[in-house]
Amino acid sequence: MSSDFLQQIQQRRTFAIISHPDAGKTTITEKLLLFGNAIQLAGSVKGKKGPHAKSDWMSMEQERGISVTSSVMQFPYKERTVNLLDTPGHEDFSEDTYRTLTAVDSVLMVIDGAKGVEDRTIKLMEVCRLRDTPILSFINKMDRDIRDPIDVMDEIEEVLKISAAPINWPIGMGKEFKGVYNLYTDVIHVFQQGMGHTINDDIQIKGLDSPEADELLGAYAEDVREEIELVRGATHEFDIEEYLAGRMTPVFFGTALGNFGVREMLDGFVEWAPSPLNRETRQREVDAKEEKFSGFVFKIQANMDPKHRDRIAFMRVCSGKYTQGMKMKHVRLGKDVKIADAVTFLAGDRSAVDEAISGDIIGLHNHGTIQIGDTFTQGEELKFTGIPHFAPELFRRIRLKDPLKTKQLQKGLQQLSEEGSTQVFFPVNNNDIIVGAVGVLQFEVVAYRLKDEYKVEAIYEPVNVQTARWIESSDTKAIDEIKRKASDHIAIDGGGHLTYLAPTRVNLNLAQERYPDVEFWSTREH
């Protein structure tokens, strides 16, 4: 492998942002792109309420002012190439987010300083923990009166069970916000107001004990020095090994809206965040620096752009290099395919890609053959693992307005379930079709797309199912028994897997007791 290629891989940083809605993910994304020169003006990423809803792909989404899709942004920063994977903000689409987290090497956690650690952050953190993903933190909205920073740090440690190491510390907050003090370089970065839309000069004061610091802090100078002394004593020191192992998060303070503290955070990020990591497959570990190409699909997206009316499979490149027109093996199908038209994404706009390497995300045009979790290689029989499928929590029976369209309905649901937009179950004892979702908005998306893409009008009816488990046993007799005795609860899912549909938690518990040789899985790998 050429040293140039190895260096390019070393320079890649592929990450996603996790946060609770309204913590500032969109705003910080804009500023990151501003630093990356990826867009001329901040504010055009996906103005949720504004006219530039670039990554919105569907009118329903725009009407609701939510962003359902994940897109990918690539930008250069300080000799690095940064890939930022956007995730849907709405929790109804959390499955998408979970899978996107399997395609990154680290995450940025954005916390609203006034609100502290919120629900969705806790959930997303649990997903990160499954893979010990390194987490860097940004405590946002310092231009407001937030909670005592020490309390926020304590909360991160207690609630998220990760040690927190402040890299910089805020000086004042709200109207009195003066800037941040870097605990390692002994530099104060001075806050300037009204510079949110530009890359402002980094005004530095060297030394907390300097006369310049006295001048900036005025009557507070001594208090600030005492506080910093206290902070040093009461918090962890940053340890990069602990960070890379997912046990410690370096913490930066700032304001995304004021575009302050973001640059310091980004500098720390490109310095410490891991370059593309090795990935597990069922057969062996794939080294990100291997010469031969490999990758897996973590997301399929329809109608990204109404003009194109197609489906894009998002693939994380795990090793080697994609070049335009190359042949890849689609492992599940055992077929070689020539890929001539992969695309990349820049803030929602797509363009053809000539080359992509480990850590990059490329989009493949999918004509119905690609599924989430599919592995592509240069010939080797590999299957990447760890791309999860979660048991739905909400269920509806789906019924056609026009019964003659059963075929289209089945085809539509099959495809939508393959791309992960919904899950579908066919009970063995009747002709019902049951649709499962993690969030209620998913049902609306499915109905909309069935109508729009498959020309079938479907209606939902309530169904007496509360939860589902994929069932499996090494003992075929045990499977036969549950299929026979509990047949009213048995269904086949869109992927052909045996499923137990439970009307209540109690029923599920009883079934688990009654059939001890059967395993009930709440997640399934693709």
* 286 interacts with ligand GDP by CB under 6 A: no
- Rounded Cα distance between 77 and 88, Å, is 24
Nearer to ligand GDP, 56 or 242 (CB): 56
Binding mask 30-49 for ligand GDP (x = CB under 6 A): ------------------x-
Phi/psi at 248 (5° precision): -140, 140
* 19 interacts with ligand GDP by CB under 6 A: yes
List 71, 102, 255, 275, residue binding ligand GDP (CB under 6 A): 255
Nearer to ligand GDP, 23 or 331 (CB): 23
Q: Is 143 annotated as a binding residue?
A: yes
* 81 interacts with ligand GDP by CB under 6 A: no
List 11, 14, 26, 137, residue binding ligand GDP (CB under 6 A): 26
Got the DSSP string for 297-324? EEEEEE-SSTTT--EEEEEEEEESEEET
Q: CA-CA distances (angstroms) from residue 144 to 17, 147, 216, 290?
A: 22, 9, 19, 48
Query: Cβ distance 96 to 87 under 8 Å?
Result: yes
Q: Is 90 annotated as a binding residue?
A: yes
* 518 interacts with ligand GDP by CB under 6 A: no
Q: Is 488 annotated as a binding residue?
A: no
* 23 interacts with ligand GDP by CB under 6 A: yes
List 88, 89, 320, 427, residue binding ligand GDP (CB under 6 A): 89
Nearer to ligand GDP, 141 or 263 (CB): 141
* 145 interacts with ligand GDP by CB under 6 A: no
Let me know if 159 is exposed, middle or buried by CB neighbors in 10 A (0-12, 13-18, 19+). Answer: middle
Query: Cβ distance 12 to 360 under 8 Å?
Result: yes
Nearer to ligand GDP, 261 or 412 (CB): 261
As measured in angstroms, the least distance from the Cβ of 257 to ligand GDP is 3
The helix (run of H) or strand (run of E) holding residue 386 is none
Q: Which two structure tokens, joined as six digits, stand for 57?
A: 């792909």
As measured in angstroms, the least distance from the Cβ of 179 to ligand GDP is 14
Neighbours of 231 (CB within 10 A): 16
Q: List the interface residues with ligand GDP, window 108-137 (CB under 6 A).
A: none
* 87 interacts with ligand GDP by CB under 6 A: no
* 303 interacts with ligand GDP by CB under 6 A: no
Q: Is 26 annotated as a binding residue?
A: yes
* 86 interacts with ligand GDP by CB under 6 A: no
As measured in angstroms, the least distance from the Cβ of 192 to ligand GDP is 14
Contacts 24+ apart (CB under 8 A), 147-150: 147/113, 147/114, 147/116, 149/113, 149/173, 149/253, 150/231, 150/234
- Rounded Cα distance between 367 and 355, Å, is 22
Q: Which two structure tokens, joined as six digits, stand for 391?
A: 């048991």
Give how many residues touch ligand GDP by CB under 6 A: 18
Nearer to ligand GDP, 118 or 453 (CB): 118
* 141 interacts with ligand GDP by CB under 6 A: yes
* 439 interacts with ligand GDP by CB under 6 A: no
Stretch that binds ligand GDP, among 25-33, 355-363, 394-402, 506-514 (CB under 6 A): 25-33
Q: Among residues 314, 320, 315, 316, which one has the least CA distance to residue 287? A: 320
What residues are paired with 436 via a beta bridge?
395, 423
As measured in angstroms, the least distance from the Cβ of 67 to ligand GDP is 8
Q: Angle 119-130/94-101 helices, nearest 10 degrees? A: 40
User: CA neighbours within 13 Å on the CB side: how many for 83?
Assistant: 31
- Rounded Cα distance between 223 and 7, Å, is 46
Stretch that binds ligand GDP, among 21-29, 91-99, 160-168, 208-216 (CB under 6 A): 21-29
Nearer to ligand GDP, 110 or 433 (CB): 110
As measured in angstroms, the least distance from the Cβ of 15 to ligand GDP is 16
Stretch that binds ligand GDP, among 224-232, 252-260, 274-282, 381-389 (CB under 6 A): 252-260
Q: Is 109 annotated as a binding residue?
A: no
What residues are paired with 357 via a beta bridge?
321
List 1, 7, 22, 214, residue binding ligand GDP (CB under 6 A): 22
Query: Cβ distance 436 to 470 under 8 Å?
Result: no
* 8 interacts with ligand GDP by CB under 6 A: no
Q: Is 142 annotated as a binding residue?
A: yes
* 180 interacts with ligand GDP by CB under 6 A: no
Nearer to ligand GDP, 84 or 490 (CB): 84
* 24 interacts with ligand GDP by CB under 6 A: yes
The helix (run of H) or strand (run of E) holding residue 489 is none
DSSP 383: -
Question: Which residue type, as a one-letter code, is found at position 32?
Answer: L
Nearer to ligand GDP, 25 or 330 (CB): 25
List 52, 54, 131, 144, residue binding ligand GDP (CB under 6 A): 144
Query: Cβ distance 297 to 283 under 8 Å?
Result: no
Contacts 24+ apart (CB under 8 A), 39-42: 39/347, 41/197, 42/196, 42/197, 42/259
Which residues of this protein are in contact with ligand GDP, per CB under 6 A?
Answer: 19, 21-27, 48, 89, 140-141, 143-144, 255-258
* Binding site as annotated, residues: 19-26, 86-90, 140-143
* Binding site as annotated, residues for GTP: 19-26, 86-90, 140-143
